[in-house]
Chain A
């Protein structure tokens, strides 16, 4: 199914769900797996991902009447809700939640910012420490781009902004990391 027909199909499903909440089942069936995987990649626990996904879907179902078509895919709206739920989950945790990142993705970030030695474990750990100290909203865009391998188009859809803005937002944060890295040296 191409993007245009998916978009049209979504609009029909949304219109039906706005009339009758039970009709949200169509959107639920279509997007549950994607949203679950998105959440799982960030929380890395199946049971937590299941609960957070259900909460996100409940919010989407409850607020579907507020959804406005602005030309972005419906999935972007769902991803935003899911992302907010993940951030809420992290905030609600009194203990630290450890998120594991593949080393190849860490190396990508280091190469992009041009910092440290990509093979040096201490440099990789230093970068992880800096990411952990970022605000959740700032860390999110790095997660999307490097750890979840989103394209700039997907990031732009996710935030409801242009691709140029998405790039600007990401590179501003990468700049910030580079500056902090150089100060720590």
Chain B
């Protein structure tokens, strides 16, 4: 946020050459550049979207496994019932 104000008294300050030179540092820039470029990759689970995607896939896999298990149980029950000796 910024607010403009009229400067009526003083002349507007301008930085001196020496002051500018103080901030000019290419080695610092290359150091920061290297940090950005060689930044280690964030693991998938630390990415918010990927985390939810992985969670969704895991939940789906769990539900499918459970549904598959229930179907197998039903099939076993059916075969048990058919195998019962007739009186």
A interface residue numbers (CB < 8 A to B)? 21-22, 24-25, 28-29, 32-33, 36-37, 40, 44, 46, 49-50, 53-54, 57-58, 61-62, 90-91, 93-103, 106, 121, 124-125, 128, 131-132, 136, 139
Total chain B interface residues with beta-carbon distance under 8 A: 28
In the complex, per-residue mask of B23-43: 1 if CB is within 8 Å of any chain A CB, else 0: 111101110110011000000
Which residues of chain B are near A37, meaning CB under 8 Å? Answer: 14-15, 20
Which residues of chain A are near B26, meaning CB under 8 Å? Answer: 25, 28-29
Does A97 lie within 8 Å of B1, measured CB to CB? yes
Which residues of chain A are near B13, meaning CB under 8 Å? Answer: 44
Which residues of chain B are near A102, meaning CB under 8 Å? Answer: 6-7, 11-12
CB distance from A155 to the nearest CB of B (A): 19
Given the complex of chains A and B, what is the CA–CA distance between A35 and B24 in angstroms?
Answer: 11
B interface residue numbers (CB < 8 A to A)? 1-8, 11-15, 17, 19-20, 22-26, 28-30, 32-33, 36-37
Asked if A58 meets B15 with Cβ closer than 8 Å, knowing A93-B1, A96-B1, the reply is no
Which secondary structure dominates where chain A touches chain B? Answer: helix
Which residues of chain B are near A22, meaning CB under 8 Å? Answer: 30
Given the complex of chains A and B, what is the CA–CA distance between A98 and B1 in angstroms?
Answer: 9
Which residues of chain B are near A103, meaning CB under 8 Å? Answer: 6-8
Pick from B8, B23, B25, B33: contact of A21, CB below 8 A.
B33
Which residues of chain B are near A54, meaning CB under 8 Å? Answer: 23, 25, 28-29, 32
Pick from B8, B12, B32: contact of A58, CB below 8 A.
B32
Given the complex of chains A and B, what is the CA–CA distance between A102 and B29 in angstroms?
Answer: 33
Does B23 lie within 8 Å of A36, measured CB to CB? yes
Does B29 lie within 8 Å of A57, measured CB to CB? yes
Does A128 lie within 8 Å of B28, measured CB to CB? no
Does A46 lie within 8 Å of B23, measured CB to CB? yes
Does A101 lie within 8 Å of B15, measured CB to CB? no
Given the complex of chains A and B, what is the CA–CA distance between A151 and B40 in angstroms?
Answer: 45
Which residues of chain B are near A93, meaning CB under 8 Å? Answer: 1-2
Pick from B4, B12, B30, B37: contact of A128, CB below 8 A.
B4
